[in-house]
Chain A
Amino acid sequence: MSDATDKRPRRRTLLLIVTGMVLGFIVVYAANAGIVYTSTDVFCDKFCHVHPHATASWIKSTHYTTKSGVVTHCIECHLPAGGIEYYTEKARLGAQDVWGVLTKDPKKIDWEAKGSLEEAGTFTYESSCVRCHSILFSAKLTKKGSDAHLYYQRMKDKVRCINCHLSVGHYHEKKPEEYLETKDDVFDPKNFPTAAEGFTNYTEVLPGSDVKFEMVALPGGTFTMGSPDSEEYRKPDEGPQRQVQLSQFWIGRTEVRWKEWEVFYAQRGSPGKNDPSYSEESTTTGPTPPYGSPDQGWGRGARPAITMTHHSATVYCQWLSSVTGKKYRLPTEAEWEYACRSKTETPYFFPGDPADFTLDSFWNRVFGAKKLPLSQFAAYAGGGSARTQTPSFVKPNPFNLINTIGNVREFCLDWYEPQAYAKYPSTSAVLNPRGPESGEEHVVRGGSFKSDAIYLRSAARDRTQTERWLMTDPQSPKSVWWYSDCNDVGFRVVREYEPPR
Chain B
Amino acid sequence: MNELDVTRRNFMGAAAVAGAGVLLAGCSSKKTVEPTKFLDAAPDGPVLKAGLVGCGGRGTGAVQNFLKAGPNLQIVALADVFQDQLDKCRRRLEGRPEAKITDETCFVGFDAYKKLIDSGVDIVILATPPHFRPLHFEAAVEAKKHVFMEKPVAVDPVGARQIMASGEKAKAYNLSVVAGTQRRHQRQYIETYNHIKNGAIGEIVAARAYWCQGQLWYRERQKEWSDMEAMLRDWVNWTWLSGDHIVEQHVHNVDVCNWFIGAYPVKASGFGGRMRRVTGDQYDFFSVDYTYENGVHTASYCRQIDGCWNSVSEYVVNRGFHQL
A residues within 8 Å of B by Cβ? 135-139, 141, 143, 146-147, 149-150, 153, 476
Contact = CB atoms under 8 A, between A and B. Distances in A.
Interface of B: 142, 157, 161-162, 164-165, 168-169, 171-172
23 contacts: A135-B172, A137-B165, A137-B168, A137-B171, A138-B169, A138-B172, A139-B142, A139-B169, A139-B172, A141-B165, A141-B169, A143-B162, A146-B162, A146-B165, A146-B168, A147-B161, A147-B165, A149-B168, A150-B161, A150-B164, A150-B165, A150-B168, A476-B157
A296 B296 CA distance: 44
Nearest to A145: B165
Contact of A136 (B142, B161, B162, B168): B168
B161 A146 contact: yes
B265 to A, nearest CB: 15
A-B pairs, 10 with minimum CB distance:
A146-B165, A137-B168, A137-B169, A135-B172, A150-B164, A137-B172, A150-B161, A150-B165, A147-B161, A137-B165
B161 A149 contact: no
Contacts of B165: 137, 141, 143, 146-147, 149-150
A475 to B, nearest CB: 10
A299 B157 CA distance: 36
Contacts of B172: 135, 137-139
Contacts of A135: 172
Contacts of A476: 157, 161
Nearest to B168: A137
Contacts of B171: 137
Contacts of A136: 168
Contacts of A138: 169, 172
A147 B169 CA distance: 13
Contacts of B161: 146-147, 150, 476
A215 B160 CA distance: 50
B169 to A, nearest CB: 5
A143 to B, nearest CB: 8
A150 B164 CA distance: 8
Nearest to B142: A139
Contacts of A149: 165, 168
Given A146-B161, A149-B168, 10 more contacts: A135-B172, A137-B165, A141-B169, A146-B162, A146-B168, A149-B165, A150-B164, A150-B165, A150-B168, A153-B168
Nearest to A148: B165
Contacts of A150: 161, 164-165, 168
Contacts of B168: 136-137, 146, 149-150, 153
